[in-house]
Structure 1
């Protein structure tokens, strides 16, 4: 997949894996119409079948375009693209790595319903995690049951 992504962008553009099956292509100074053309090339490159373990697999991709505003935080364009794609697919999102109040407010404003990171809890030792899990699981289960998009 990485080779396909690199082949769909210019040499000076940056392709990065955000996690799991999420990737981003960061283009330099290009008009929005050109960025849309790159997104279409990426979509075409990723929808070609893949041969793995003797099987031909069809890969599908959702691609979106977000433009960066030089007056806004640098990560906002990527966060905006991810939330728009998730909303288009009717998926819930969890913003990860939230470290500051301004980050949390920006992500909430963009539409992220859930977040996690050092702002909320520092990493726990295995012992602390086990102790908290035995007391916190019922509360998390109640949250899942009463999620506003899923209940009612």
Structure 2
């Protein structure tokens, strides 16, 4: 911005100032930023719509960032483990049809095998590195059912 203020002709070359690729955990994510920008500009469905996220980490230095970004991406940030009766069995987030609606983001310090092997298929256990990589890849698996199952039976619980 300061370069453009000094020389207005640089505005025409704004492409040189944009971030396109992101390197995270030794992996280069090609064109990781532009799809997010386009989706926000077009008012696309929020990427994590229908996802309920519970963060369970012993130490998370960027927890404030997560608290701010998760709702902006359309997910509901849970402060406690929800009552399982609140959720409908067979529900999946619309843009993540292969995932279950309650995502437990963890740092590999707790035993979450009970949630990984949940017979009701309500939980998706994902490490913080996998979660960040998912956001950078912007993977989508759209639910193509004509009548998708809502994740929760009572919406007022999370408002």
Same fold (TM over 0.5): no
Higher RCO (CA-CA < 8 Å; seq separation 6+): 2
TM range (shorter): under 0.3
Q: TM-score, normalised by structure 2?
A: 0.25
